[in-house]
Structure 1
Amino acid sequence: MQQQTLVLLFFYGVFLILCGITSVIFIGMKAKTALISGGISGLASIGIGHMISTNSPPFELAGVLLPLLLFIVFSWRSTKTLFKIFELIPSNHEDLKGKGVAFLIISLMAVVSLVVFILQIIN
């Protein structure tokens, strides 16, 4: 089980980092918050996985809680972005496309966070 957790947290961390980079590629530097949050969250996931590999029991709990907490944060941010999209639709604002891309990426991060959490619980 420990090896599965390490691999899962590593790929989850890489995924989060890539989501931050993808946001900047598609939206531009307006997405620097996504780059920072994806990078920090990804590095935290990889770091927790490394600490689990050194048999540090508190980090096993952190490895389960991190995806749950990130699911909550990403769900909140996704909802907030969706409401902003609803505000921008009537005016056909120039930021509408960027907000749509951000909504999709943040929502994907939330769904993957939930899947990672569930996979750790059932294993």
Structure 2
Amino acid sequence: MNIILLLYGLFLISCGIISVIFIGPKAKTALISGGTSGLVAILTGYFYSYQNSFLSIAAILIPFALFIVFAWRSTKTFLRLIELIWTKDANTNAKAIAFLIISLMAIVSIFTFAVQLTQYVNLLVL
């Protein structure tokens, strides 16, 4: 069992729920993507074993792949947020909250990737 991936998965699910609470029904995709990726991380973390090379690699690749997705989504959201600020749109606050949540998911993803990679390298050295 990999506690870091379990916590990471719970974090992703929580971010999806928080998005819906603060943004409303428009954040359904955040709930679906956060819930799905969180469930994948939890399942990988639960069945994780150092002897299973597939899950060891998956434990590294999942946070890295999600970092790429969240960084891309954060960039798109930021650019849209700039447009909304210039036009003084009413959706500016919701988009700002979405940007912060997605950016936090990207930061936690790269941190999780670094921790998982460090653990894997340490196992190879031993």
What's the TM-score, normalizing by structure 2? Answer: 0.90
Equivalent position SS for 2:115? helix
Give percent identity, aligned residues only: 52
Displacement after TM superposition at 1:105 (Å): 0.1
What letter corresponds to residue 7 of structure 1 in structure 2? I
1:59-98 correspondence to structure 2 within 5 Å: 59-98=55-94
Query: In the alignment, which residue of structure 2 is the partner of 1:41?
Result: 37
CA separation in 1, counterparts of 2:79 and 2:29?
Answer: 18
Displacement after TM superposition at 1:104 (Å): 0.1
Structure 1 consecutive aligned stretches of length 4 or more whose deviation exceeds 2 Å: 53-57
What letter corresponds to residue 67 of structure 2 in structure 1? F
Query: In the alignment, which residue of structure 2 is the partner of 1:51?
Result: 47
Query: In the alignment, which residue of structure 1 is the partner of 2:18?
Result: 22
Displacement after TM superposition at 1:15 (Å): 0.2
* Unaligned stretches of 5+ residues in structure 1: none
CA separation in 1, counterparts of 2:111 and 2:63?
Answer: 9
Which deviations, in whole Å up to 9, do the C-alpha atoms of 1:54-74 show, x marking residues without a partner? 953211100110000000000
- RMSD of Structure 2 on Structure 1 (CA): 1.3
Equivalent position SS for 2:86? coil
Equivalent position SS for 1:90? helix
Greater shift after overlay, 113-122 or 49-58?
Answer: 49-58
What's the TM-score, normalizing by structure 1? Answer: 0.92
CA separation in 1, counterparts of 2:52 and 2:61?
Answer: 15
What letter corresponds to residue 84 of structure 2 in structure 1? L
CA separation in 1, counterparts of 2:53 and 2:118?
Answer: 18
Is 1:107 aligned to residue 107 of structure 2? no
CA separation in 2, counterparts of 1:12 and 1:120?
Answer: 11
